[in-house]
Amino acid sequence: MKYSYLFLYFLMCPGYLIFGQEEGSAVGKAELEDVVRYHIKELKFDPQNLESAIILMESYYMMTEYRKAILYANIAQDIYQNRIQDTLFQSSFFNTKALFYVIQTRGKSRHKIADYRKAKIDYLDALEMNARDSDLLVDIGNLYYNLEKFDSALFYFKKAEMEFQDGFKSKFNMANTYYVLKEYDSALLYYDKSIGIKGDFPYAYFYKGSIYNELGSYDSAIEAFNKAIQIWPDKSEIYFRRGFALQSSGRYEDALWDWNTVIFLDSQNYNALRNRAIAYIELNDNKSALADLNNLITTNSAEKEAYYLRGKLYYNNRKFRKSLPDLEVANKNGMNTGELFYMLGDLYRRKKEIPSACLYFMKAKKMEYPFSEKNEKLLKECNDY
């Protein structure tokens, strides 16, 4: 297990609680602020106090104040260089591999603020000191992932896995990389390996479900999302993607529960509201569907699909005068489906505006949308216009 300097400090100092064991462990903000105040005083009293500089670096990193973490990493490196010839300093428990840790953490801090060039320099410097540290190898892989150099990312994740066979991070990040590359079999394999190590990590199930959604394997997607929800029951995005899987497999009533949950957790989720309207339409609850579509159009000025859906709803209920304006807005805003063009053509035919009807019918025909017998006949006459 890789312990942090901050953890070791808490471990060895009476009066402090042990807050964390590994990077990412939760430490209370108030406790960290107390630690920072104490070690700022210690460093002022003894400007060559390496332990205080390192603990300040790590504390600020955990507080997500990355620029301050970089500042104290620089200070720690300067102290290290000043004291490296001291025999007592070399034998100190705290100073073992201190420079490696400082440079790695500075690289991670620069990585967090997207200073990728300097982060890469720090990571490669740390790599020269210890080429077998699995956490460092994962950090380098993550850097290449962020730079969208996925082959290089995979190279370092695989090296990390070789160094630490039971490592969760290398496997999970490898799965994410394969997911981005759409190598779904490999992604699913490594998500399963991740789950085998850390079975309570919801993102592994979430991404598995997302892959199954993309593959159209909706039952498998639903199963994965169910497990993610058991672990993380208040994450709206999981309900959204499960709702998509349920709706895509024709389980509209079940999907409604997920859309309602998403909207409860995130009232501004227009996509969930739109999907709920679609579920209502499929369940022939036109009143509820219309209420959702009206709400979408009123609250979201960028809407286009809601106009399309409301126009189609009016069209199917033979409210043609209400249908046409909505379908025209949908068309103007970039909708271009064969069904939309067919409905517009039919509405203009009913208004006896034949040139416009022919224009839209020809677009619909080009998109291979099926025609009624009456409109097929009109289409044949469109060459006269």
Question: What is the per-residue pLDDT across 137-146, written as a single tens digit (0 to 9) for each?
Answer: 999 999 999 9
pLDDT in tens, 149-192: 999 999 999 999 999 999 999 999 999 999 999 999 999 999 99
State whether CATH 2.40.128.20 applies to domain 1-130: no
Q: Using CA atoms of 21, 26, 28, 29 in order, give the dihedral in degrees to the nearest 10.
A: 110
List the domain boundaries for the chain: 1-130, 336-385
CA gyration radius, the chain? 30
pLDDT in tens, 80-107: 888 877 766 665 655 657 889 999 999 9
Query: For residue 19, what pLDDT band results from cuts at 50, 70 and 90?
Result: very low
What average pLDDT does range 357-383 have in this prediction?
84
What average pLDDT does range 52-62 have in this prediction?
94
Q: Give the range among 92-106, 121-135, 164-178, 230-244 with minimum mean pLDDT.
A: 92-106
For residue 19 the two structure tokens come to 């807050």
Contacts of 197 (CB under 8 A, 6+ apart): 166, 167, 168, 171
Model's pTM, two decimal places?
A: 0.83
- DSSP 8-state class, residue 26: -
